[in-house]
Amino acid sequence: MEPLKTIERLSLNQITTGHWNIRDAIDGCVRHEIPSIALWRHKVEEIGLAASKRLVQDSGLKVSSLCRGGMFPAATKSERQKRIDDNKRAIEEAAELGTDTLVLVCGPASEKNLPAAREMVADGIEQIVPFASDYGIKLGVEPLHPMYAAERSVIVTLSEANTIAEQYRPEHVGVVVDVFHVWWDPDLYDQIARAKGRIVGFHVSDWIVPTPDLLMGRGMMGDGVIDLRRIRKAVELADYQGPIEVEIFNETIWNRPGDDVLAEMKSRYLEHV
């Protein structure tokens, strides 16, 4: 399998430089000639939507996605409606920031009933699809690792994400493949093939051993056990040729100088992805 020859598809998911604000991250990408960036709403909020938009536009960077919508399940109807409303704000922000993709982290169950929570996810997505399509925003259902089932997402397999996405036209709802979340799945390659034409994002990092922490334990590509290139090839065979985001939650990496992280990220991308 051939390595990537250029970084033209590389995108910095700004959580990888967790201690940088949005200006730092944009400037860093420009400095390192990284063509794309994925933005997080809490970082956008720090300086406001209008200022964020100006910074991005001035930089010439492409915005690969906005993180994140989702969090649909809730105990009461009014709370579920609040979540829907927040998703609509996220869709507006995504459009304003010039990306076509909103990543959905679907949310945990509010109590022990996982099947009911999964229905709330399906229902929530159904409610926001017309709004998103009006703005030209694709919703990317991202299955999270099963270890986040209790706190972040009841959608934990690519199979579930595919089942949701298949209810809609590919330009409206797709799936996001993040290697950290799906690498363990015995059904992975079949599910990537099943997602053909519906993959709207591809995220890379690595699974390091020993794993230091559930949330902050991701590694730089090449430092772990994930067969990154094989997964990238499968995703390409499923017709995804879009941006490849590097998304690493890791306090040790956050505490390093951001420029070092970006430089390493570029070389590791070419070497391992």
Placement of tokens 């399940």 in the chain = 73
Q: How far is CA 140 from CA 83, 137, 218, 226, 256, in A?
A: 17, 9, 21, 22, 30
Count of residues that interact with a second copy, criterion CB under 8 A: 30
145 binds a second copy (CB under 8 A): yes
146 binds a second copy (CB under 8 A): yes
User: Which residues sit opposite 218 in a β-bridge?
Assistant: 207
The full length of the chain comes to 273
How many Å apart are CA 270 and CA 86, to the nearest integer?
A: 37
Is-contact 177 204, C-beta < 8 A? no
**Quick one: which of 2, 6, 112, 130 contacts a second copy (CB under 8 A)?**
112
192 binds a second copy (CB under 8 A): no
From the list 160, 176, 85, 165, the residue with the least C-alpha distance to 117 is: 160
147 binds a second copy (CB under 8 A): yes
Q: How far is the CB of 228 from a second copy (least distance, A)?
A: 9
Report residue 18 CA to chain centroid gap.
15
Cα dihedral 74, 78, 84, 89 in deg (nearest 10) = -120
Is-contact 136 172, C-beta < 8 A? no
CB nearer to a second copy: pick between 28 and 219: 219
104 binds a second copy (CB under 8 A): no
Tell me if residue 17 falls in helix, strand or coil.
Answer: helix
**Quick one: which of 159, 170, 172, 263 contacts a second copy (CB under 8 A)?**
159
CB nearer to a second copy: pick between 93 and 185: 185
CB nearer to a second copy: pick between 41 and 272: 272
What x-and-dash track marks residues 115-134 binding a second copy by CB under 8 A? ---x----------------
Q: How far is the CB of 121 from a second copy (least distance, A)?
A: 11
CB nearer to a second copy: pick between 100 and 206: 206
Placement of tokens 């609509």 in the chain = 88
Q: What would the two tokens of residue 237 be? A: 């065979």
Q: How far is the CB of 211 from a second copy (least distance, A)?
A: 6
CB nearer to a second copy: pick between 55 and 188: 188
Report residue 28 CA to chain centroid gap.
20
Residues 193-212 that bind a second copy (CB under 8 A): 207, 209-211
CB nearer to a second copy: pick between 91 and 176: 176
What values do phi and psi take at 41, rounded to 5? -65, -35
CB nearer to a second copy: pick between 121 and 238: 121
Q: How far is the CB of 179 from a second copy (least distance, A)?
A: 11
Residues in contact with a second copy by CB under 8 A are 109, 111-114, 118, 145-147, 149-151, 156-157, 159-160, 183-186, 207, 209-211, 213-214, 224-227
